[in-house]
Amino acid sequence: MFRPARMQKLSIVTLNKYSKATIDALHEKGYIQIDDLSEVIQEDEAYEGLGVSKQDPVASRIASLSMKCNNIIDTLKSAEQSQSIVDVIKGYISPKEIQPKTVENLQSDELADKAEEIINKVDNVLSPIESRMNEIGSEKTKYKDSLNVANQLSSFDIDFAYLQNSKYTNVITGRLPTDNLAEAKSQIEEITQEVEIAEGSTTTSGDVTYVPLIIVCASKFEEEISGVLRRLEFEKLDVTNLSGKSNEIIEASESKLDELESERKQCLKDIDEIGQRSKEHLLVINEQLEVEKERTEIYSYFGETETSKMFQAWVPKDKVEETKSLIDELTDGHSVIETEDPTDEEIDNNKVPVKQMNPGFAKPYELFVNMYSTPNYKDIDPTIIMALCFPFFFGYCLTDAFYGIILAIVGFILYQGMGKFSKTYKSFGVIVVQCGLWTILLGLLTGGFIGDFVPRFIMGDASAALPTVLPDINAFAHPENILIIAIIIGLIHLNIAFLFGIIDNVKRGNIKELCGGQLCWVLIELAIVLFIVTGSLPLLGIVFVIALLLLIYGVGPMGVMDIFGFLGDILSYSRLLALCLSTGGIAMTANLLCEMLTGMIPYVGIVLGIIVFLAVHLFNIAFQSMGAFIHSLRLHFVEFFGNFYEGDSAEFVPFKASRIYTKVKE
């Protein structure tokens, strides 16, 4: 329970004709993790006679069809009508259940033929619409550019057809910051006097005022004049192929853009209709392709001869016999299976994949443990301790029963909603519910229910306590007791870490790490306890000196400085008090402001008081929940894990078919 599942390695050899059925069945079961033998076969003489297995010839076709299918699905999704906020919320609370379609387990080439037929049928209808959508996009860009040019030059009453270049003259059109106009004219006149500059009405963009210009010059001076203008931040406006006055171009461009937008919307509507008819079939066939893609690609991990395939896989020990029976059944006994325990070298080098084995209530917290590092195969898995302590620490930080109720409801919605389809959402849902329940309990015991809402507004005495409060742990009456409890909890938490570290180091034979990492701190704590119980100063000194010697032996003379780190770890748990008081303090402030506003300002004050009340409490629950989450996580990642946990192993990744839209026909 406190250690990962024991693993065994299976080496399997079977005839080629049985390999497809065997791999398909193992893929559906998801018991094994297959090792990549491609490099080992080429380098290790023990595998002499074996070649690296090639992918199924159909693999590239399957992958190509899967990519094409995904692209079509993405296109269909892009045309779906956007949902309202209400619909989005409903989707999270009560997502539509997916009824998987029963499918046959086809041969690779048969599946590829079937997929190609379905995909091409949809693509033949969709491709012309997509092509037209791309053309519409290009045309809209062209007309938007024309509209922008016409708007910028709208102060000139001239047909743009007259602004085209000729054999001997060039026309430069654009806009220039007004601050640079005088300098531009001066530098252009230095180049040539044979130039005409027409100025339009100024416009402002941001903090800069621009003046539109039409500059007509001899062709031979165009490049030099353009260089001057570029240096002075001139923005060129291309009038090539434009004809008509600016108002005519604006009217024609706007009309054409409206027409193109209407056509685009019709294309999206047509794509949406195609999606409604075809999307379900595409999702089913795409899932089949993805599953088959994994199966065809896995062969590159195998070794082979002309007639047989060989592969190695890690299997949890409790699934070994079932896996062997399944392979034996599928190969009609024509297989050789060798079972091995992990070697010391594989364990020491973290080559054994880790599958965590935790009870249901702790399973969601594997997410947090793996966020730090996957547990080491040979060491203790701390997930259960984290599952017990994390929600408690969270509740200790928040300590408001009403906030806990809100969190528990949110967690339940996550669990019952998106948790049906996502393991991550499900895990977070369970964690949030547990955090909410601890917050409710500790809030009622310490006096937090929307701050002091009940005493202030219902009981009529802000200094009164809730009936559920234990007087000695009333957070605002006796914060010193909350601090003492937090430190005691911290010591218990740290000593569990020391115990785990002692067990792991004894098992490994790491005596120095044992002395300098855990045993010295336990002895220092023992010295203090003995002094409190017996009052004997010599006894305190003897045990403390022994602890100090162990510390120096373990980490060297500079290890004495680690005593301050140890004290820091203990005092770090005082953050539980700090967050507890800050949550209650902000909640009480919200209630006090509400009371003051409703009492000071007739009528309007009631509205303002309610707004302030809701706004501050919403901020408080969001901000303090985030703080409680971060600090509870920190107490585990830094103070707890830092005293024993190494991790750094690879997670067990089962070779398993991921199915949402399909199920295999029995």
Q: Which domains does the chain have, with CATH numbers?
A: 7-53+302-349 (3.30.70.120), 147-252 (3.30.70.100), 363-643 (no CATH)
Cα–Cα separations (whole angstroms), residue 280 to 64, 99, 161, 563? 20, 11, 54, 64
Tell me how far CA of residue 396 lies from CA of 7, 392, 403, 446, 574, in angstroms: 39, 6, 12, 9, 11
Over residues 252-271, the pLDDT tens digits come to: 999 999 999 999 999 999 99
CA 129/CA 125 separation, integer angstroms: 7
> What's the CA gap between 455 and 464, in Å, rounded?
6
Strand partners of residue 171: 216
Confidence category of residue 283, pLDDT binned at 50, 70, 90: very high
DSSP element (H, E) containing 314: strand 308-316
Of the candidates 268, 262, 210, the one whose C-alpha atom is nearest the C-alpha of residue 236 is 210
Provide the residue type at 431 as one letter. I
Q: Mean of the per-residue pLDDT values for the chain?
A: 90
Give me the DSSP letters along 592-631.
HHHHHHHHHSTTHHHHHHHHHHHHHHHHHHHHHHHHHHHH
Specify the amino acid at residue 234.
F
Phi, psi for residue 166 in degrees, rounded to 5: -120, -175
pLDDT in tens, 479-522: 899 999 999 999 999 999 999 999 988 888 888 888 888 888 88
* Look-up of token digits 């007509």: 216
User: In terms of DSSP bridges, do strands 51-52 and 335-340 run parallel, antiparallel, or are they unpaired?
Assistant: unpaired
Q: Which of 49-58, 345-354, 424-433 has the lowest mean pLDDT?
A: 49-58
What's the CA gap between 86 and 355, in Å, rounded? Answer: 40
Confidence of residue 649 (pLDDT cuts 50, 70, 90): confident
8 A C-beta contact, residue 69 and residue 282: yes
Query: How would you classify the pairing of strands 101-103 and 662-664?
Result: parallel
What average pLDDT score do residues 393-398 get?
94
Residue 233 structure tokens: 């931040």
Q: What is the largest CA-CA distance in the chain?
A: 110
Query: Which band of pLDDT confidence, cut at 50, 70 and 90, is reported for residue 430?
Result: very high
Cα distances from 435 to residues 284, 428, 507, 537, 596, in angstroms, run: 38, 10, 35, 44, 33
Q: What is the pLDDT of residues 539-587, one digit of tens each?
A: 888 888 898 888 888 888 887 888 888 889 899 999 999 999 999 999 9
Is pLDDT at 411 greater than 90 in this prediction?
Answer: yes
Residue 587 neighbours by CB under 8 Å, 6+ apart: 400, 448, 450, 451, 452, 453, 617, 620
Of the candidates 555, 648, 598, the one whose C-alpha atom is nearest the C-alpha of residue 457 is 598
% pLDDT > 90, the chain: 58
Phi, psi of 211 (to 5 degrees): -125, 125
Supply the DSSP symbol for 298. Answer: G
DSSP conformation class of 329: H
CA distance 49 to 37: 14
Question: What three-state secondary structure class fits 176?
Answer: strand
The pLDDT of residue 286 is 94
Range 129-132 contact pairs with CB under 8 angstroms and sequence separation of 24 or more? 129/267, 129/270, 129/271, 129/274, 130/75, 130/271, 132/263, 132/267
Residue type, 595: E
- pLDDT at position 634: 94
- The one-character DSSP state at 352 is S
Q: Note the pLDDT of residue 535.
A: 81
- Residue 309 pairs in a beta bridge with 14, 304
Give how far Cα 611 sits from Cα of 362, 453, 604, 617, Å.
Answer: 40, 16, 11, 10
Q: List alpha helices for 30-107, DSSP H.
A: 38-43, 59-78, 85-93
pLDDT at 666: 73
CA distances, 8 to each of 37, 274, 275, 302 (Å)? 17, 50, 47, 18
The torsion of the CA quartet 198, 201, 204, 209, rounded to 10 degrees, works out to 50
CA–CA separation, 612 and 595 (whole Å): 10
Weakest-pLDDT range from 74-83, 123-132, 166-175, 654-663:
74-83
Q: At 622, give phi and psi (nearest 5°).
A: -70, -50
Tokens of 445: 């015991």
- By C-alpha distance, which of 340, 350, 343 is closest to 375? 350
Helix runs in 509-561, H state only: 511-514, 520-534, 537-555
**Is residue 656 within a helix (H) or strand (E), and if so which, with residue range?**
none
Handedness of CA 250, 253, 256, 262 (dihedral sign): negative
How many CB atoms lie under 10 A from the CB of residue 508?
Answer: 13
Q: DSSP assignment, residue 48?
A: T
Q: Model's pTM, two decimal places?
A: 0.80
pLDDT surpasses 90 at 354: yes
CA dihedral 91, 92, 93, 94 (to 10 degrees): 40
Closest by alpha carbon to 24, among 272, 292, 220, 305?
A: 292
pLDDT at residue 83, as a whole number = 66
**What confidence tens digit (pLDDT) does each residue in 112-161 have?**
999 999 999 999 999 999 999 999 999 999 999 999 999 999 999 899 99
